[in-house]
Amino acid sequence: MIEPRTLKGFRDHLPAQALARERVLEIARRVYRSYGFAPIDTPALEYLEILTGKGSDETDKQLYRFQDHGGRDVGLRFDLTVPFARFAAQHVHELGLPFKRYHMAAVWRGENTQRGRYREFMQCDFDTIGTASPVADLEMVLVVHDLLAAIGIERFTIRLNDRRVLAGILGRLGLADQSMSVLRSLDKLGKATPEAVAAELAAHGVAAEAAAALLEMASLAGPPVDVLARLSALVGDEEQGRAGVAALAVIVARAREAGVPDGRVAIDPSIARGLDYYTGIVLESFLDDLPALGSICSGGRYDNLAGLYTKQHLPGVGASLGIDRLLAGLEELGRVATVETPAEVFLVHFDERHIADYLRIATAIRAAGMAVEFFPEAKKVGQQLKLAAKRGFPAALVIGSDEFAAGTAQFKNLSTQQSVTIDWHGDLHVLADAVHSQLEAAKHT
RNA sequence: GUGGCUAUAGCUCAGUUGGUUAGAGCAUCGGUUUGUGGUACCGAGGGUCGCGGGUUCGAGUCCCGUUAGCCACCCCA
């Protein structure tokens, strides 16, 4: 016998989990579409050269790669952004610009696993390519906000920064060459003490004065307007940095005007993002109740990525919801429903002699737009109801010989255990309509 | 990838200094109740103790390896 098992970091999804995931996917789809993003799809497997050297050394290491049967060097996509840049370069002429797309699909990363970190997980990306407009940047923030709010998360923070601010300050301090190692050290703030980080910076050859300025920058917090004022001072008259601060200021102001509540958007100068391709605004979002989970939705502007595949200038901006990590977080917070069925009505199989009637009833209920499961066996009613309750059906329909004789039906609310008698006199339309209104009423209890 | 912790029935866990047929609660199935689910009682099924080696007269219990999960680093979704 073969032991049934799954690879490290790869998971099965049981109905309760799969239903929760589909609910979030539906919300994401709805929100993306509400801004005009159109669906696309790309292959899971790409030529290796398409994927390597785009994110960072780290992402190259985590890439799943192998030779296919034809001896081609191939890789499983690491994210959805790089394949999209290839897609955009390849299809610009058919798309028209700017082009907005969403893409919800699995990606693969061969890294060590942890809660909310898997080797196969699904991302829900949306991007706008072919425009450098600040409106597209702002829209990214608005979509992320709408998305997390629509999912039903009350407490979250979207943390913004701009690569140009970092680059500007580093340039001003004469540290442009060591930006990666400096950023990596700064990233440890919060976990390590400022003194320890300062020591690490000194080890990298950063002068004490510069280190102090960097530490001040990275630890800035508070209302966005205040942080921006301080950043503005740190940036001085460095051109790039000023552009970054100005861009952030616009986004903060516009987001507020667009109705994003204060406190949900923060400026966090310590957010750098490990992906090399970001050039402007960068964003990470966190659950306030579970910050250790890491970012659940991240993105930014990447103005040169598609340039790797075409001479045409295709600036892009977009973000990605990590739905598997988000669900791991919601589950930990007890916010994932335990429903195991997509159906709304459980039709009890009471009497085998009425199978034809049950099937007609089920058909009528389905025709009225409801999902109904007819139990295949005439087991004890108690057992059937118990299973229905366990699966999370909101309601059961009980129709036995007595009910058939009287032309009635019992509509049972499975959460309140209350039964209502429906008079339908053999008219399937009457029955379906009554079930529909009872179901609506039950949903509001 | 590096380091640490964990691994016993579907789930949560007991299992005494290694010693005869590995236990409990919950869950599942059946019965008390051939027409009604979260209560009660009775009964049943289910584990080669993650897997593979080793030490020993004897290993769930000790050692090594391996696989998986979790935690930290790293990085991020």
Q: What is the pLDDT of residues A163-211, one digit of tens each?
A: 999 888 888 888 887 777 787 777 777 677 777 788 888 877 788 888 8
Query: What would the DSSP string read from start to end of A383-414?
Result: HHHHHHHHHT-SEEEE--HHHHHHTEEEEEET
For residue A372, the SS3 value is strand
A15-332 with A345-443: one CATH topology? no
**Residue A43 CA distance to nucleotide B34 C1' (Å):** 57
Pick out the nucleotide with least CA–C1' distance to A285.
B77
Provide the residue ranges of all domains of chain A, joining segments of one domain with +. Answer: 15-332, 345-443
Neighbours of A270 (CB within 10 A): 19
Sort strands A372-374 and A345-347 into parallel, antiparallel or unpaired. Answer: parallel
For residue A326, the SS3 value is helix
**Residue A379 CA distance to nucleotide B34 C1' (Å):** 10
pLDDT tens by residue, A211-251: 888 888 888 889 999 999 999 999 989 999 999 999 999 99
Q: What is the pLDDT of residue A190?
A: 67
**Residue A202 CA distance to nucleotide B11 C1' (Å):** 52
Pick out the nucleotide with least CA–C1' distance to A183.
B75
For residue A207, the SS3 value is coil
Q: What is the pLDDT of residue A213?
A: 86
Strand B nucleotides in reach of protein CB atoms, 7 A cut-off: 1-3, 28-31, 33-38, 67-77
The set of long-range contacts for A191-195, using a CB threshold of 8 Å and a minimum separation of 24, is A194/A219
Superfamily of structural domain A15-332: Bira Bifunctional Protein; Domain 2 (3.30.930.10)
Which residue's CA shows the smallest distance to C1' of B28?
Answer: A387
A103 phi-psi bin (left φ>0, alpha ψ -120 to 50, beta other): beta
**Residue A353 CA distance to nucleotide B16 C1' (Å):** 60
CA distances from A223 to A187, A228, A231, A251, A361 (A): 21, 9, 12, 14, 60
Pick out the nucleotide with least CA–C1' distance to A125.
B77
Residue A214's contacts (CB-CB under 8 Å, 6 or more residues apart) are A169, A173, A182, A186, A201, A206
Sign of CA dihedral A269, A241, A88, A99: positive
Hunting for tokens 């739905």 — which residue is that?
Answer: A323
Residues in chain A predicted with pLDDT less than 70, given as ranges, are 1, 190, 273-274
Q: Which CATH architecture has domain A345-443?
A: 3-Layer(aba) Sandwich (3.40)
Residue A143's contacts (CB-CB under 8 Å, 6 or more residues apart) are A31, A32, A35, A126, A319
Give, for A334, the enclosing helix (H) or strand (E): none
**Residue A384 CA distance to nucleotide B31 C1' (Å):** 17
Q: What is the pLDDT of residue A187?
A: 74
For residue A153, the SS3 value is coil
What is the SS3 assignment for A68-130? CCCCCEEEECCCCHHHHHHHHHHHHHHHCCCEEEEEEEEEECCCCCECCECCEEEEEEEEEEC
What is the spatial distance between Cα A28 and Cα A78, in angstroms, rounded to a whole number?
A: 21
User: What tokens were used for A265?
Assistant: 């958007």
